[in-house]
Amino acid sequence: MSDSMKVAELWSRSSKYLESASKSTYEQWFSQITPLCIEEDKLLLGVPDEFFGDWIRDNLADLLHDAIINACGRDYNLEFESGHQIQLINTDVEAPEVLAPVQEEIKPVQPVQTVAGKCAENCHARHTFETFVVGEGNRYAYSAAATAAKDPGVFNPLYIYGGPGLGKTHLIQAVANDVVRRNPNAVVRYTSCEDFLNAYVDSMRNKTHFEFREHFRNVDLLLIDDVHILSGKAGLQEEFFNTFNTLHNGNKQIILTSDKPPAEIPGLENRLVSRFESGITTQITPPLYETRLAILKQEQESMHLKLDDSILEFIARRISSNIRPLKAALLHLQIYASAMQETITIETVESLLADILNKEAENRTVSIDAIQKAVAEHFGLHVHDLTGSKRPKNIAEPRMMAMYLSRKLTNCSHKEIGLAFGGRNHATVIHAVKEVEDACVRNDEIKRALTSIQHRLQVEDAVS
C-alpha cells in the first residue's frame, strides 16, 4: 500500500471517530483538513491557513490524537501545512439572507444566476458577500468591493486597509468568488503578498520568470493580501510595479489589502504609493456592538450552536477588538457544549473565556477624560472637582485615584497627566500614584473602588 493510500485510509477512519464525537466540531474544523503524508512518526495535515492550524493545535489536539490512536492503534506527531483549501460544495443557488446589524444596511449585490459549487482558487467557499456582516466600520469597503465584483475596473485599484481580524480577506475573497460564480471563464488570481514574494524568488532561482509573469499578468482580476510585505524589498517592488501597470493599463481589476494606508507603509517607493492611491482607498475599523452581535448570531448558526441571547450580548460587550476572538469564543463554547451536554450560563462563559476576556480588557484603549468621568460618577462628584484646586479629603482621594488609573491604563506621561488635572506638575502625579499604591495594600475599600471603576472603563464602555 502506498504512503498516500495509507494516510488517506488513516484519515478516513479518524474522521469517522471525530464526526461521531461531535458532528458540529467536525464540520467546522476537521472536515477542512487535507491529509498529506506520513513520514516515520510524523503525520502532515494540510489546513487553510496558520490561524486554522494554530486553533487545531491549541484547542483540539487531544481529540485529534484520540481519533488517530483509535484508527490505527498508535499515535503520530502532528504537523500542519497551510495553504490547503477544501472547496465546500454549495448547491443552493439563492444566497442566504444577510444579517442586518444596523438600520441603514447596504443592500447586498443583487442575486444572479451562479454556478453551484464554484469557488475561486485559493479562496474559501464560505467567504461570500452573503456571509459578510455589514456594519458602520466596514460599510464603505463592502460597497466598494460589491461594485468591483459587479463592474470590474470602475474602482481600480481598490485598496482596503485596517487592523488584523476585521474581515479584509473575507471581503476580497468574496469578490473573487462572486466574479467566478458570475463568469466561470474569468481568470481570477488571489494570493498573499508573501506567496507572491515566494513565487518571485522561485522564478528567479529556477529561471522561470516568464511563467511567473504570465501567471500574475494574464488575469482578469488580481487580488493581493497584505501588500505591506512589499516594505523595503526593492526587487519585489519593481516586479510588482510592472505587474500593476500591465493590469491597470489593460483595465483589469486590482484589489489590495494592507494593515495601513499606502503612504504609511515604510520603505514603499513613492511611485507605488501613487499607484495605490490612484483608485479607491477605504478603511475597515473595529466592529461596533450591534455588528459584533450580528456576527455572533450568524456564526452560531453556521456552528449549529444555540446560545441564549443574553450570552451573545455579554460576549459582544466584552470582546470588541476584532472578529477573530469573537469566533474563538464561540468555538470554546461549542466544544464545551458538545463535551459536557449542559446549559451554558454567563458564569460558565466567564470561566471558559477568562483568557480571551482578560486580554481584551488589557488591550482596550482608555482616555484620561473617560477615567475622570468614571471616577467622578463613582464618588458622586463633577469632573471639574477633580481638575480644580479644592483639596478636601472627599475630593483629594478620588483625584489621586484618577491620576493613578490614568498612569496605569493609558500611555500618558506624568507631565501629560498633570496637565489634564488642572495643570498640576509631574511630581504631584508621582506622589498620587505612590499614595494610591500604598493605600491598596492597607485599605480594601479603596482597592474595591479601583477595581470597580477599572471594570467599568474596560467592560461597559466596550458597547460603544
- Express each pLDDT in 314-373 by its tens digit: 898 888 888 888 988 888 888 888 777 778 888 888 888 888 888 887 766 678 988 999
Q: How confident is the model at residue 5 (pLDDT cuts 50, 70, 90)?
A: low
Position 242 confidence tier, pLDDT thresholds 50, 70, 90: very high
pLDDT for 136: 81
> How far is Cα 70 from Cα 52, in angstroms, rounded to an integer?
24
Torsions phi, psi for 255 (to 5 deg): -130, 130
Edge to edge, what strands does the sheet with 188-192 contain?
Answer: 188-192, 221-225, 253-258, 158-161, 280-283
Q: Which residue has the higher pLDDT, 54 or 106?
A: 54
| The three cell numbers locating residue 32 | 477542512
C-alpha cell belonging to residue 411: 500611555
Q: Identify the pLDDT of residue 318.
A: 84
Average pLDDT over residues 114-118: 47
**What is the spatial distance between Cα 310 and Cα 348, in angstroms, rounded to a whole number?**
13
Tens-digit pLDDT profile for residues 14-48:
999 888 877 767 877 788 899 999 888 899 999 88
d(CA 323, CA 308): 20
Question: 169 is written with which cell numbers?
Answer: 480577506
pLDDT for position 226: 93
Each residue of 199-208: b (16+ CB within 10 Å) or e? bbeebeeeee
% of the chain at pLDDT higher than 70: 89
pLDDT at 218 over 90: yes
* 421 SS3 class: coil
* CA-to-CA separations, 33 to 5, 49, 192, 317, in angstroms, rounded: 16, 11, 20, 33
pLDDT digits (tens, 9 = 90+) for 363-410: 666 789 889 999 999 999 999 999 998 889 899 999 999 999 998 888
Residue 135 clears pLDDT 80, i.e. is over it: yes
Reading the block at residue 278, the C-alpha cell is 490612484
Residue 54's pLDDT band (boundaries 50, 70, 90)?
confident
pLDDT value at position 365?
A: 67
Q: Which residues make beta-bridge pairs with 158?
A: 255, 280
pTM of the model: 0.58
Task: Give tens-digit pLDDT for 272-309.
Answer: 999 999 999 999 988 888 888 999 998 888 888 888 88
* The pLDDT value given to residue 4: 54
In this structure, are residues 248 and 156 in contact, taking their beta carbons and an 8 Å threshold?
yes
Instruction: Output helix, strand, coil percentages for the chain, rounded to the nearest 5.
Output: 55, 10, 35
What's the rounded Cα separation, in Å, for the pair 127 and 136? 20
pLDDT in tens, 249-279: 999 999 999 999 998 898 999 999 999 999 9
Q: Render pLDDT for 397-432 as a digit per residue (tens, 0 to 9).
A: 999 999 999 988 887 888 889 999 999 998 899 999
pLDDT of residue 86: 61
Task: Tell me what pLDDT residue 334 has.
Answer: 85
Q: In the structure grid, which three cell numbers stand for residue 163, read together? A: 487592523
Residue owning grid cell 491604563: 409
Which pLDDT belongs to residue 1? 41
Look at residues 156, 173, 379 and name the one whose alpha carbon lies nearest to residue 251: 156
pLDDT of residue 230: 92
Cβ–Cβ < 8 Å for 246, 141: no
The average confidence (pLDDT) of the chain is: 84
Amino acid at 317: R
Q: Cell numbers of 121, please? A: 482558487
